């Protein structure tokens, strides 16, 4: 009986660690000087492969960029002189629509490509800025802060909400919100500050090879999918032995 209890505890612990890993945000590429700070802790220099701590503020230096990949497939690319944080990230691969992605862009600019969470439940995604909040409609978009908020979806659509109201923009349109007390407005490309999105559009989003080599498939690597499948079988057996069970969602 003691051995069975130990086995159950081990499987549950491994399962918890797997779900925690599955709800992580990883750095996939870095150019220049990119750091992260959690709370009042010291700045940590970031490199490809690092995991972003929950609620850490990522800062890109001069001529520096970073690409972050969420385990549901969400991608964020940051231009130089940006400050960014993931306020909340919840992801259960069995129910991606029950997840949540809430991010904050304090300065600079970013590109966002929607993953499983946003595609399953559009209202689960929010990008907060000092000027307005951006929502999605299944999207690849760029946003930049420069005496206001400029935003542009290249596919899908976005909503931009200030204290004055909400406006929706489709692919190819450009939005400008002058302040938090101004209504978002549609503007022509000619009204954009020169080169405001150039750096973001030049950032290469890394892609992986086949699943066997660890490529992302629906937000998971091929290796992770196999591990989760084995763990699920183990948990089912453990649950039957212990007459208990439940689902797990990681909160960041």
Look up the CATH number of the domain holding residue 46: 2.60.120.1440
Q: Is the torsion defined by CA of 232, 236, 242, 245 positive or negative? A: positive
pLDDT of 248 above 70: no
Taking 50 as the threshold, does the pLDDT of residue 251 lie above it? no
* 124 found inside a domain: yes
- Please tell me the predicted confidence (pLDDT) of residue 245: 38
Q: How far is CA 111 from the centre of its chain?
A: 11
Distance CA(235)–CA(29), nearest Å, equals: 35
What is the number of domains present in the chain? Answer: 1
Q: Is the pLDDT of residue 63 over 60?
A: yes
* 3-state secondary structure labels for all residues of the chain: CHHHHHHHHHHHHHHHHHHHHHCCEEEEEEECCEEEECCCCCCEECCCCCECCCCCEEEECCCCEEEEEECCCCEEEECCCCEEEEEEEEECCCCHHHCEEEEEEEECEEEEECCHHHHHCHHHEEEECCCCEEEECCCEEEEEECCCEEEEEEECEEEEEECCEEEEEECCCEEEECCCCCCCEEECHHHCCCCCCHHHHHCCCCCCCCHHHCCEECCEEHHHHHHHHHHHHHHHHHHHHHCCCCCCCEEC
**Residue 243 placed within a domain:** no
**Would you place residue 41 in the very low, low, confident or very high pLDDT band (cuts 50, 70, 90)?**
confident
| Separation CA 121–CA 74 (nearest Å) | 13
| Confidence class for position 3, pLDDT limits 50, 70, 90 | low
Beta bridge partners, 109, equal: 144
pLDDT for residue 82 is more than 90? yes
Q: Is residue 252 part of a domain?
A: no
User: Does 19 or 31 have the greater pLDDT score?
Assistant: 31
204-227 pLDDT per residue, tens:
998 743 222 233 333 333 333 233
Q: What is the largest CA-CA distance in the chain?
A: 73
Mean pLDDT in the chain?
A: 80
Q: Is residue 99 included in any domain, yes or no?
A: yes
Q: Answer whether residue 37 is part of any domain.
A: yes
139 contacts 112 by C-beta, under 8 angstroms: yes
Domain coverage including residue 119: 26-214
* Separation CA 173–CA 159 (nearest Å): 12
Rg (CA), the chain: 20
Do the domain assignments include residue 117?
yes
Q: Does residue 92 carry a pLDDT above 70?
A: yes
The pLDDT score that the predictor gives to residue 40 is 86
Q: Considering the domain boundaries, does residue 183 fall inside one?
A: yes
């Amino acid at each position: 009986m003691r051995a069975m209890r130990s086995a159950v505890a081990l499987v549950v612990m491994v399962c918890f660690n797997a779900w925690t890993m599955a709800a992580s945000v990883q750095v996939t590429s870095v150019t220049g000087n990119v750091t992260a700070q959690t709370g009042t802790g010291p700045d940590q220099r970031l490199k490809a492969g690092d995991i972003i701590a929950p609620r850490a503020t990522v800062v890109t230096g001069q001529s520096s960029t970073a690409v972050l990949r969420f385990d549901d497939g969400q991608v964020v690319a940051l231009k130089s002189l940006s400050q960014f944080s993931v306020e909340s990230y919840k992801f259960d691969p069995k129910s991606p629509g029950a997840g949540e992605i809430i991010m904050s862009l304090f300065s600079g600019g970013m590109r966002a490509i929607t993953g499983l969470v946003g595609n399953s439940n559009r209202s689960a995604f929010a990008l907060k800025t000092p000027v307005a909040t951006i929502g999605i409609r299944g999207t690849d978009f760029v946003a930049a802060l420069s005496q206001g908020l400029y935003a542009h979806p290249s596919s899908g659509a976005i909503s931009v909400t200030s204290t004055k109201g909400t406006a929706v923009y489709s692919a190819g349109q450009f939005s400008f919100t002058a302040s938090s007390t101004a209504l978002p407005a549609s503007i022509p490309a000619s009204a954009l500050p020169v080169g405001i999105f150039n750096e973001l559009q030049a950032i290469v989003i890394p892609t992986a090879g086949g699943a066997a080599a660890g490529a992302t498939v629906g937000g998971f690597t091929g290796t992770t999918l196999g591990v989760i499948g084995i763990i699920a079988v183990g948990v089912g057996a453990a649950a039957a032995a212990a007459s208990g069970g439940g689902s797990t969602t990681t909160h960041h």
